[in-house]
Structure 1
């Protein structure tokens, strides 16, 4: 059934050309310019706006709100009251058609929010695949979230934050704008992070301080004992020898045993740090 403003309400949309083989609750409201691929489920009272594309097999829970431009890949699962694609919380934003682009197989729990980008970078907020975003967590505008990331309950990421693959952010954390969280790192519960967190490290506290390597995360990622030992050697050079970053980089480069992709990633992260590293 179409409303006076052109929206389509309910399961009458089930055979719409842009929504093949979808299961849509009768109370859902979907704009005719939205595109749903095969097998999408839309729960009660969900609202889907124009210029929203939803990949096959995605589940949109009750009371979810999706605004475009939004690209949502296949097999994502949105719990109740998830909100995706609203405008950025940025005073300089003037209604430009920026985007939120999301990969596949993510789980977004209750009241999760992610905003479209501002115009201060490339106009896209990006979320990768196979991530878990727990209840009440938030991704700010222009964020970059990798793959297999976990962000726990009520943790809030400001605009322009980057989180690399397999990072773990515990509950009730705050991450300052433009901060980078390195791969396989862990942010402890309640931390306030104002500088970059190096790959493989654990930080805790307000303000966050370095607590060592994320040994459990490295093991779970399948790194063997030899690789973990080399990472510990590089960690010691960077954080425990009293060296400057340039001296630590040179010491790592001078040791051929440390010439591995994992340590190269650590060096590249350090080199690209504008805010400085949590120590």
Structure 2
């Protein structure tokens, strides 16, 4: 129940619901069902954190593969929505990327969402499927009516380039594409990669791209400190150290609670990314 709709002094029942939803879904999956749970905002997934992290993620491991809850998919809208403020705009993907036993998947568009969701539901592991809130009303795309799946843990190069590699996921791909277009007007050729699956992520595709371009920029809405971009930067520094021609750049959210009035200052915008592209290419 949203805070602004409650009567003063009324109990905030919504904070307990995610725990029940996750626990019920884990039980269903443990009995062999394909359970699809929905936490209506990722901002409110935290009461279910214990069930997801200490139950779902460890179910198979702790039993020596005698039982599992691998048929579990948890859907949750995440990220900025344009007017959500600090309670309806968060990007908590990095919390779950830290947990062995979970997969984390984030689509960038309607077509991707259907194919990746069907693949997640049929995957034999618990999957956290974050759906960008921004795309719910703004994204328009032809989606096949039939059954189809898109492979998990396989990034997609959606724009070929030679000067710098850009990586993102979710709604941030649209912002990165705009920055690529503007950079091309200045003669900068950007290669753009949609990571799609954050855990386990496609290191090989990213490594191949950075080995070609020698430069890397990562952008996500979540705060920069401890964001998943840091994991990518560290991995690529290890794998491509001798090929890197500039420090890995990160254009991310700020290390503050998500603001309401000052959202444009917080978000990793096209202009911020374009400035970082130019600085990295000219390093």
Q: Same fold (TM over 0.5)?
A: no
TM-score (norm 2): 0.27
Q: Which has the higher strand share?
A: 1
Which one has a bigger Cα radius of gyration? 1
Q: Which has the higher helix share?
A: 2
Which of 1 and 2 has higher RCO (CA within 8 Å, sep 6+)?
Answer: 2
